[in-house]
Amino acid sequence: MISRAALHFWEEPCLSGKEGSGTVFFSGCNLKCVYCQNKDISRAAVGHEVSREELAKEFLKLQDMGANNINLVTPSHYYLQIKESLLLVKDELKIPVVANTSSYDDEEVLKSMEGLIDIYLADFKYISPELAGKYSKAPDYPEVAKKAIEEMFRQVGGPEFDERGMMKKGIIVRILLLPGHVKEAKECVRYIWETYGDSVYLSLMNQYTPFRIPEEYKELDRKCTKREYDRLVDFAIGLGITNAFVQEGDTASESFIPPFET
């Protein structure tokens, strides 16, 4: 099931560029984050079924629209079907394929995608099993994500860019700052830096937007403050990180959440 296939302009600059990233949003998700901004799609409440052949045609259509890449959003539970679609058009696709993932990915399944994924746009949500269990119902998330990112790095290695500055190959690890959890985000940054150095790009995100937060998680029912985000960015700079994206302005807005089919 997919809920949207269109050009998307709000990814990191080396992915969206001026032309946009060719995103395909898949319905459903293997995490249950209490703060999910796209609950309708992550709970598979919207979307329509497509065959493997139809999905392959969507990839080519996005390429014809001028997309800088094919951006597979939340692909984890469909990797094997996506693989079949990519194989159908492998010789026709001339742009990179991006796996835009929570990193709650099975290591063996990722291995099966080798040679088909050029860029991994990977979340690293938590380093604490307690928080992962509390907010995403997945206390094993840190362990699974570490192994997944290790496999991603084995496949694609360090970053490569074309003459326009668009990424052709590599990994971008996204760290979303949650309100009240600067320390957790710092430790996520520290782990990626100490493990991969500048071979992996970091994306430090302040765009958290509270959206239908359950009462029992009311500590998450606010945006992050500028001071919280500045503390995270200053920490990354202090570590010596140079390959990173930061966000400026009011990115914590529902306008950054694209419309999905009903």
Burial of 229 (0-12, 13-18, 19+ CB in 10 A): buried
Which residue positions in the chain have pLDDT lower than 70? 39-45, 249-262
pLDDT score for 99: 98
pTM, two decimals, is: 0.93
Q: Supply the Cα-derived Rg of the chain in whole angstroms.
A: 17
- Residue 108, Ramachandran bin (φ over 0: left; ψ between -120 and 50: alpha; else beta): alpha
The confidence score (pLDDT) of residue 255 equals 33
* 29-49: pLDDT as tens digits: 999 999 998 766 666 667 899
CB distance 75 to 113 below 8 Å? no
Q: What per-residue confidence (pLDDT) applies to 43?
A: 67
CA gap 186, 7 in Å, rounded = 32
What's the pLDDT at 47?
Answer: 86
CATH architecture of 2-256: Alpha-Beta Barrel (3.20)
Residue written as token pair 């496999």: 151
The helix/strand/coil state of 23 is: strand
pLDDT for 254: 37
CB 49 within 8 A of CB 56: no
What pLDDT was estimated at residue 39? 67
Of the candidates 118, 85, 83, 77, which has an alpha carbon nearest to the alpha carbon of residue 101? Answer: 77
